[in-house]
């Protein structure tokens, strides 16, 4: 579906991506993880065609591709429904698709609201709904659930699972272990612009250990634990926060 061969990208003198070679299959969801500045967004922009690679080749089986940036692009003067109608008209999309996406993203109660009246989660759901109107084969998502409420996270995760069922290829940047576990087929780790790991989720967990920060209720003490150590903790815990891999 997507094939990259020795892709590299340079901004000025510094290379931010080097030797990127991998391919994906239809119906695969790939989680892209890596520290800030490791090149994740640049990689999605290159696949989407927004940026040209400095070297290397990108092959896509389909031209129907949607890139959904971290910050949604919505028209402030238009209501939620009018935003959908506007983009649908521009792209010649039938109105049934609009109704479907409103349902999938549970937007029914909010159709009359302007973007400024929507929560961050609702704005992201609307932005994804708009991008999916054209029924793309390849979907590129830049941190779609970052900083969102639990309900929006769940709705977006469910939509991604549905895309997978419909044999779409999804690449998305995430920091959340739970999403890697419940949605992804494969994981791609970027480190300083290079692929550190590309493989199945099972191999990923076998290779990297999961850590969590726990806060004890009584003492308010914070500790870093391996995930498997969590079940041995006897004290009450106030918070458990995932910190990803080590």
Per CB under 6 A, 174 contacts ligand ADP: no
Per CB under 6 A, 52 contacts ligand ADP: no
Per CB under 6 A, 40 contacts ligand ADP: yes
Per CB under 6 A, 213 contacts ligand ADP: no
Per CB under 6 A, 183 contacts ligand ADP: no
DSSP one-letter string for 44-100: HHHHHTSS--SEEEEEES-S-EEEE-SS----TTS-HHHHHHHHHHHTT--HHHHHH
In the list 4, 20, 33, 39, the residue contacting ligand ADP (rule: CB under 6 A) is 39
- Given the DSSP bridges, would you call strands 222-226 and 14-24 parallel, antiparallel or unpaired? unpaired
Q: What are phi and psi of 179, to 5 degrees?
A: -70, -40
Per CB under 6 A, 169 contacts ligand ADP: no
**Euclidean distance between CA atoms 233 and 215, whole angstroms:** 11
Per CB under 6 A, 48 contacts ligand ADP: no
The 10 Å CB-count burial string (b at 16+, else e) for 31-63 is: bbbbeeebbbbbbbbbbbeebebeebebebeee
Closest CA to 29 of 158, 211, 122, 206: 158
Smallest separation, CB 204 to ligand ADP (Å):
18
Q: Which of residues 83-142 bind ligand ADP (CB under 6 A)?
A: none
Q: Of the listed pieces 31-39, 56-64, 81-89, 103-111, which binds ligand ADP according to CB under 6 A?
A: 31-39
In the list 1, 7, 30, 41, the residue contacting ligand ADP (rule: CB under 6 A) is 41
Per CB under 6 A, 219 contacts ligand ADP: no
Spell out the residues 6+ positions from residue 183 whose beta carbon is closer than 8 angstroms to its own: 29, 31, 157, 160, 161, 164
- Given the DSSP bridges, would you call strands 210-216 and 169-173 parallel, antiparallel or unpaired? unpaired
Per CB under 6 A, 11 contacts ligand ADP: yes
Smallest separation, CB 232 to ligand ADP (Å):
35
Per CB under 6 A, 16 contacts ligand ADP: yes
**Euclidean distance between CA atoms 232 and 218, whole angstroms:** 17
Per CB under 6 A, 145 contacts ligand ADP: no
- Given the DSSP bridges, would you call strands 138-142 and 65-68 parallel, antiparallel or unpaired? parallel
Smallest separation, CB 68 to ligand ADP (Å):
14
Per CB under 6 A, 37 contacts ligand ADP: yes
How many residues bind ligand ADP (CB under 6 A)? The answer is 10
Q: Tell me which residues touch ligand ADP (CB under 6 A).
A: 11, 16, 34, 36-42
């Amino acid at each position: 579906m997507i094939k990259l061969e020795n892709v590299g990208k340079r901004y000025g003198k510094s290379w931010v991506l080097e030797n990127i070679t991998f391919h994906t299959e239809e119906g695969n969801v790939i989680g892209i993880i890596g520290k800030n500045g490791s090149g994740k967004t640049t990689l999605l922009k290159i696949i989407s065609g927004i940026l040209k690679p400095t070297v290397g080749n990108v092959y896509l089986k389909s031209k129907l591709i949607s890139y959904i940036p971290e910050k949604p692009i919505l028209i402030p003067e238009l209501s939620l429904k009018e935003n959908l109608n506007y983009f649908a008209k521009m792209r010649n999309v039938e109105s049934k698709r609009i109704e479907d996406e409103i349902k999938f993203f549970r937007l029914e109660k909010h159709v009359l609201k302007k973007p400024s009246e929507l929560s961050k989660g609702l704005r992201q759901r609307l932005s994804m709904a708009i991008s999916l109107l054209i029924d793309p084969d390849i979907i590129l998502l830049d941190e779609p659930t970052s900083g969102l409420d639990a309900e929006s996270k769940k709705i977006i995760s469910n939509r991604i699972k549905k895309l997978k069922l419909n044999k779409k290829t999804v690449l998305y940047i995430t920091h959340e272990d739970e999403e890697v576990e419940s949605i992804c087929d494969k994981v791609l780790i970027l480190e300083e612009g290079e692929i550190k790991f590309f493989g199945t989720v099972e191999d990923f967990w076998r290779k990297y250990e999961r850590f969590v920060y726990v806060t004890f209720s009584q003492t308010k003490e914070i500790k870093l634990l391996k995930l498997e150590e969590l079940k041995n903790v006897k004290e009450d815990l106030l918070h458990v926060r995932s910190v990803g891999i080590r």
